[in-house]
Amino acid sequence: MSERNQELLQLAQEEVEQHKETVEADPYRLSYHLMPPVGLLNDPNGFVQWGDTYHIFYQWMPFDTGHGAKFWGHYTTKDFVHYTHEKPALTPSDWFDKNGVYSGSAIVHEGKLHLFYTGNVKDENGNRETYQCLAVSEDGIHFEKKGVVAELPGGYTAHFRDPKVWSHDNRFYMVIGAQSEDEQGKAVLFRSDDLLEWTFLGPIAGSKENGMGSFGYMWECPDLFELDGTDVLIVSPQGLEADGMKYANVYQSGYFTGQLDYDKPYLDHGTFTELDLGFEFYAPQTTVDDKGRRILIGWMGVPDQYEQAHPTVENEWIHCLTLPRQLTWDGKQIIQQPLEELKEMRGPVLLHSSITIENDQKAIRGIQGKAIELNIDLETTGEQFSIELFQYASLSYKDGVMTLSRPHLEDKSKTEFRRTELRSELKNIHMFLDHSTLEIFVNNGEEVFTSRIYPQPEEEHILFTSLGSTTFSVEQWKLSGFEV
């Protein structure tokens, strides 16, 4: 371990200790979501199952609530209910990553855990250099950097990052988010036989590729995998203009489906579909586990979207990760559902059956709280049905459109909205609340809204409103937080 690495680990630990009480006293601190011990968290990295343990790394800036020279923070879990916060896996301590150990992925090979990441380097004039790097571990806790394994190919700018590695037909492949020299976002492919020597194969998809028009100036955090016989490319494009209800955030995350020709290489794909319609969701990453499940975790944040307006900044931390979600393919779209293991966090159920509200707003006895799970099954819906959360956020359904609203984080005199037209009639709303997070699964995961919310800390009331007559049942569970 280098002296610089030791120094950075020590400085980060001192920062954690210095602000521990402040972070833990924050009323917006989370009970059951992964968050940083101090500073800024962003993209999930290196999400992988190794043996009976899931590893979840994350981009971490311990010294500030803004972005900078990132570390890889590290959580482990065996069950997605109990977590261990390990020491940081990687620090920006070498010439090839001195300005940030940027995002990447993990793969298990020959009994060792291999981390691939982008090393970010800037010269004295602020010019960016970028390298794809490897670190290896025999125990999943201590990592030895192997240095640069792939350099920038011709025709691309230094915005070239976020390697996702997998195996296919006894060879290894790496997809990277890129920007071409004419400033078009791309997803490009490399191939290797040994994880050490990588050959650049070219773009498989991107803006102005495969017959697609202009579609963003940079594609970040690509992830390519097979789901129920269909190849899926998840990507986070930057530079899309809002289009009706679509693309309402500063940057988006979504997916293309089709078939990847590994030889050409070429992804024959359809249109882009957003994964999440909420205010905060970006840079998701998936893994497949020993049960064959494709599991997704995302960052509950968006870069360059009024990040410093989040009130947790005052308490020396910002952002968190989403709950883990299982992905399935129904032949038309990806379905996202919370993992079965999360049910282990539940306390006793509170059930109210066949409640009817007609032209009224009502509280329902016992339905309240800051760390809860709600499941609402609708039998009939009136002209409009809405749920008001803590006098802060509102979820409403009218004329086939689901709308989530909250006060604007920068200008609280304004209300901001995220909307989508549902693919089918509203039948189910499954909701997770955790002090300052909100994750909503609509119609068993056909649509998802993920957002941060910042109501008054003492406010716990939830109100149900119907124009016309709505009949529904509601289940509530208090959720026990985990200790890390």
Q: Which candidate in 43, 97, 223, 231 is catalytic? A: 43
Question: Any residues with CB less than 8 A from the CB of 179 and at least 6 apart, and which?
Answer: 156, 157, 159, 160, 185, 186, 217, 218, 219
Q: Give the pair of three-digit tokens for residue 300.
A: 């509950």
Question: Any residues with CB less than 8 A from the CB of 296 and at least 6 apart, and which?
Answer: 275, 284, 285, 286, 322, 324, 325, 326, 327, 336
> What whole-number distance in Å separates Cα of residue 464 and Cα of residue 387?
5
Closest by CA to 337, choosing from 324, 347, 346, 349, is: 324
Q: Give the pair of three-digit tokens for residue 340.
A: 């079965």
Alpha carbon separation from 312 to 297, 411, 416, 453, 454 (Å, rounded): 21, 16, 20, 11, 9
User: Which element (helix H / strand E) includes 18?
Assistant: helix 3-25
How deeply is 250 buried, as exposed, middle or buried, from its count of CB atoms within 10 A (0-12, 13-18, 19+)? Answer: middle
Question: Any residues with CB less than 8 A from the CB of 214 and at least 6 apart, and which?
Answer: 184, 207, 208
- Secondary structure (3-state) at 13: helix
Straight-line distance from the first to the last Cα atom of the chain, in angstroms, rounded to the nearest whole number: 26
Q: Are 258 and 269 in contact (CB under 8 A)?
A: yes
User: Within 13 Å of residue 406, how many CA atoms lie on the same side as its CB?
Assistant: 23
How would you list the strands of the sheet with 128-137, edge to edge?
Answer: 101-109, 112-122, 128-137, 144-150
- Our answer to whether residue 193 is catalytic in this structure is no
Question: Any residues with CB less than 8 A from the CB of 66 and at least 6 apart, and which?
Answer: 40, 307, 308
User: Which element (helix H / strand E) includes 6?
Assistant: helix 3-25
> What whole-number distance in Å separates Cα of residue 420 and Cα of residue 397?
10
Q: Give the pair of three-digit tokens for residue 349.
A: 């159920």
Q: Are 410 and 279 in contact (CB under 8 A)?
A: no
Residues tagged active-site: 43
